[in-house]
Structures are given as structure tokens and as C-alpha cells.
A and B are shown apart, each in its own frame.
Chain A
Amino acid sequence: MSCKEDRGTVKVVDGKYKPSGKFHYPAPNTPIKDEKGKLLGITNPRDIVHMHSYGGEAIFFESLGKGKLMATKCENPDCETTGSIYMPFRIFCPDCLTRNKVIDITAKAKKNAIVHSFMITERTGAFNTLPTPIKFVNVEFEGVCTILMGALIRGEPKIGMRVVPIFRTKKPDYTILDLLWVPADWPAKDLPEGYTY
């Protein structure tokens, strides 16, 4: 239905979205009939593109392509949980609602990230781009109060194992998939194409 080569693009000019190119490739409705040929309904195919703002999280997604893992920290001295570090990145502290400070935890993640839990599945939803079986790992970082979910792209997951982040630094697509995980000490020559430590 869609043609990637001609896919439209979007820019922001003067604070407004400016789509250009072709986004929609109409496809005909087709009838749905039973075994006897009786009409029951129709298919409604269509191709939709959303324009989505990352807002205050944009720095996180932009940093992945530069090989950096950015977290946030509450530095409000009056907050009951001041000093808490959040990964996943939270723009605001969930307790005092002051804007968190963005901090770089790449070195910490490379040194002490471990698997809190994991799962392996062959099943995916439509539009999945990860290879199957998909292996999710929930990654704990020392000193971070939350637990990040990610995909382990090499090796077999186990609770308590050390993992390290890898980043799609060549042609990042600016999604969470620019960040993947591999077991600690995994050889750099065996990383997926485009990814680096």
C-alpha cells in the first residue's frame, strides 16, 4: 500500500509542522463475504502518519545517536525524594513536579547495569522491526530508582547478568530502538550493523 521511497517528510518552520511530499496511498475497499457469497462487510485499508513531539525527552532520543544515555535527576532540595535519578528519563520529578536536571549516565550504564527481569517471545505485533525471538531485559542501574526496559540483541538473558548498552550511531532513527543491550564483554565486531558501544 505504501511506497517508502516517496514517503513524505515533516519539518517544523515558525513553530508549525510543515509536511511535504506524499503521505497517503489510497487502496480500494474490498468486500467480505461468507462461503455462500453473502455480503457481510468490507475492508477499510488506509495508511496514516502521525507527527509526534518528543518535547522535553527529545534530548534523550537525540543523544542515543551520539552514543550517550541520558537520565534525569531531581535536584529540588525541598522535595521529599530529592536526588532520585530516573531512567526511563522523566522530564519532571513525579513528587515535586519541578523540572529534573538531565544527566549523562552512559559510563554508569557501561559499568554496572544488570538484568532485573527478562522475557523471550517469538510473537510480535504488526510493524515490529526487531528480529525474533525478541528478548526484553529490564535493566537496573546502581543509584537509579527505576528500571529501564530494553531489548537484548545478543546472547541469552538471565536475571542478575551484567549488560551494556549499544547505540545506533550510524543512521539513527531517533526511536528507543537506537538503544539496545548486549551481555558485558560482548565483542565489538559482533554488534548489529550501525550500532557501536
Chain B
Amino acid sequence: MITFSDRQLKIPKMTKPVYLVTAGMSKFARAFPDRKTEEICIDAFTEAANFIDMTPAEMKKYIHTCYYGHFADHFGDQLLGEAAIHDRLGLDPLGNIGVKTGGATGGSTLWEAYKTVASGYSDCTLALGWERMDEVPTDEGNNYISCAADKDWETPMGHIYTGYYAVMAQKYWQVFGKEEESFRRTMAEISVKNHGYGRMNPHAHGGMKITVDDVLNSPIVAHPLRALDCCLMSVGAACGILADEKTAYEMTDNPLRIDLAAGSHTLRAADRRDMEIPLLPNETKDQYRNLDKEFPGGGRYPGFTGFLAARMAAYYAYRMVGIEDPTKDLDLVELHDAFTISDIQTYEDIGIRPYGHGRDYVESGDCYHTNPRTGEPGKLPANLSGGLIGCMHSVGATGIMQVTEVAQHIWNRWGEMHGDEAKWERFGREKPKDWQNLQVKGAKRGLAISHAGVGSHVTCTIVQHPDHVLPGGMFE
């Protein structure tokens, strides 16, 4: 579709508020040759239970329906892998279902768990995601990932998904980046930031102390993307427990409000047709009138430079919860930084900056925990977990990891969950001597974007402290 009816643009209105009760993550790594998937999933589940001072057995008593995010059966070489994990978690005979939306699988899994609670079908749901990307050689792994492109029209061309994505990076780089060296350095700065934050995260396997020049000198993957511009390939699991208000407060004194919305766009970037830009609450139609003049070649929307699915996920989610301006209304975000350039594109899709001006979010220092330009707290810190570049991209788990990270800031427990010496030791990782507590002080609201493929599926999750729920949302 290139035009949308009022019914299609209707803002979702849930029948009851939904709460995030707890969340947990396993260690993330490039490979776990000594562990089965169920062991990793049980690690994440146990961390979530312990986070609210429960045993796994106690937490299981509350769960009514289970959603499992697991993108690629190919990788695990196990169809119905969800059934295996469900059984190993000892959750039979509860209803369960697998969710598969590529890179957005984690977000989509939460989306389903959310709607199940909001509808009243269940008082409490489990959303658990994982990916097993280490059990094939890398070139076979690339082949499997390329199967998420169109099998007849794209996959035979190189069997390399990065290539299908890089054409969009190239277009953005030339149109909005104007091929400027300064823009290239801004892209690299995102990698430096996210690898740097990854160092402070014991779960992460991409923590590195690097410079912009290190990024610019890393091997070329597909110009302008270099190896350090790209996300990790990971194994690991993450889970969240969602519940209605009554159940949530029975389980913990500190549940958080959670809301999700989703958008979609074509599997092939090739099929994108020109359309008007759907506007977010902080945008006006006039502001994009001269986009093509300001950025020649940038007039086609979403063309290869924007992600309509991300725009629509934010379109619904912002209005569901009453966000008028994400930079003012949110305290932190976790974005799907599959590549440094797509991170910039997402700033625009979700309205942190207008289309064409995403780079300013980095260059202003707003995206940092502490703004390196001013020494003051960043206005809207992004990817303090390290993101997909510095923490992990274990596909089915990624969107849930992002929400876990956002929530731990709002719970004011980020330092506890990331600074614990015993956790660093248990994960076989050395805590940096210059470890920094990245807790965002006074965080009340956060957002996570979970994104698939070249933009086929995107979810937008908003997490809010229940004492600081925005006015103007669906329950007002």
C-alpha cells in the first residue's frame, strides 16, 4: 500500500494496561561449543526469576502462555525448537507458539506476549528469545541469513545479506551523508561509542576500546560499511515476563508499564513505492517540502534511505502512550544498530531528528551517556548496552535484550546488574579497571526498536515507570 485508510491508521487501544514484571539475559558470545540452547535459555529465565527474588519454579507458577522468539530453524537445525525449549523449561502443558520476524523477532515476541495480556487471555506471559548462530561455518551462516531475502530474486546473488542491505547504506551515504568525510567519521563514532559501552556490560561480547580511525581502517565489508560498522553474530537468550496490573504487583513491588506497536514494509527493498511521509507528533508536513532540494535524490520516500516499518511502529506507539517528542519525553533508547548507518537512519524514522539530519544526534553528543562535547548527561542516551554492534545480535533474543537493558535503567538497577563482580567471573570475562556505571540517573521512560531485514518488520517498545506515565496515552 502507498496510501492508508483511517482504519489502518487507527491508534491501537488496549483493554487494560500491561506491565513488565522482570527480565533476564544469558551471557552472549560468538559461540557456545560446550552448551546446548536450553542451557542458555534457562540462564536467562533464572536471571529474570532471581531479579524479583523468586526461584524459577516460583515464577513459573504465574505464567499462563509462552511466546518463543527464534528466527532461523536452519541455524539450530531443529524444527519446532520452541517445543524443545518449552519442555526443558518445564512449562508443559501451557499454550505456546514460536515467533519469527527476522531481526525483529525479539520485539515481535514481546508484542505477542503484550497483546495476550492486554486482551485478558492471560494474566501473565513469558516472552523468551534466542538464536543459535554458531553451529554452521560462517559462509553457510551467511547463506542461511541470505535465505531471509527473496529466494528467487535476491538470494542467488551472492548469498550475502549484507549486500542487499548495503545498497541502502550507499544511497543514504550519498544522498543524506553527501559522501562527506565528516559524515563518515560520525558513522564511525557510533561504532566507537557502542563498542565502548559494550565494555561495561558483562553479557556483551563486542566490548572494545577503539578509535574512529580504527573503524575507518577496519576491513571493508561493502563500501561505505567496514567490519567495525557492522553488528555482531551471536548466541544467547533473553526473556521478559509480562502481566496485568494485579498479577504484576503480586509478583513484585516494582513492575514497569510496557506498550508495543509494530510496522512492516516490503521484504525486498526493490518493491518500495514512492509515498507521502507519515508524520510523527513532533513533525509538520511543511518541514519536508524541500527535502529533495536540501538533499538532492532524497525526495523519494521511503526510497532506500528510510524505513517505513520503523516510522509506522513509532507512529502507532507514540500516540498509544502520548509521546509528543521522543527526545523530551524519553530518557534513553536502545536502537537496532545492525550497521552504523542504519542507526542514523533510525534516528530519523522515529523522530529523534528530522529526515536528513540524523547525524546531528551523534554530533551534538545527545546520544551519549555523558555528552563528550559538554561533559553533561546526554539528552537521550542510546545503546548503553553496546547495542548490536557492541553487545550482541543473537537474533531472536536481541529485541528482548534491548527492553531488558532499558528497563534496568528505569528500575535503577543497571549498575547492580552490570557491575556485579561475580557475574563477570561467572561469564569468564574480566571487568575493566575503568568500568563505569552507565545508569541513567532518574530514568523514567525508555524506548527500544527491534528491526528485521531491510526493514520488513519493526517493533517499537515503550517502557515507563508507573509513577511517571505520560499524559495523553490510551488509558487517559
User: Residues of A at under 8 Å CB distance from B?
Assistant: 32, 34, 40-41, 44, 52, 54, 57, 61, 80-81, 84, 86, 88, 90, 94-95, 116-130, 134, 136, 138, 145-151, 159, 175-177
Contact = CB atoms under 8 A, between A and B. Distances in A.
A116 B160 contact: no
A123 B162 contact: yes
**Size bracket, chain B contacts:** 35 or more
A8 to B, nearest CB: 20
Interface of B: 1-3, 33-34, 77, 137, 139-146, 150-154, 156-164, 166-171, 174, 220-223, 268-274, 297, 304
Contacts of B170: 117-119, 159
A125 B304 CA distance: 23
A34 B169 CA distance: 40
B140 A134 contact: no
Contact of A128 (B141, B159, B272, B297): B159
A148 B2 CA distance: 18
Contacts of B141: 125
Contacts of B152: 52, 54, 57, 61, 175-176
8 contacts: A118-B167, A121-B158, A123-B162, A124-B142, A126-B139, A134-B158, A136-B163, A177-B156
Given A117-B304, A121-B166, A127 B159 contact: yes
Given A41-B33, A134-B158, A124 B139 contact: yes
Contacts of A120: 222-223
Contacts of A44: 77
A121 B174 CA distance: 17
Nearest to A94: B1
A159 B168 CA distance: 12
B142 A125 contact: yes
A126 B139 CA distance: 5
Contacts of B271: 86, 88, 90, 94, 146
Nearest to A148: B270
A159 B296 CA distance: 12
Contacts of A52: 151-152
Closest 8 CB pairs of A and B: A125-B159, A125-B142, A119-B166, A125-B143, A117-B171, A121-B222, A126-B143, A126-B139
B42 to A, nearest CB: 19
A149 B154 contact: yes
Interface centre among B137, B156, B161 (most CB of A within 10 A): B156
A138 B163 contact: no
Contacts of A121: 158, 160, 162-163, 166, 220-222
A52 B156 CA distance: 14
B139 A149 contact: no
A44 B153 CA distance: 29
A151 B140 contact: no
A134 B77 contact: no
B220 A122 contact: yes
Given A80-B3, A159-B171, A125 B146 contact: yes
A116 to B, nearest CB: 7
A12 B48 CA distance: 53
B272 A151 contact: no
Contact of A147 (B139, B163, B223, B269): B269
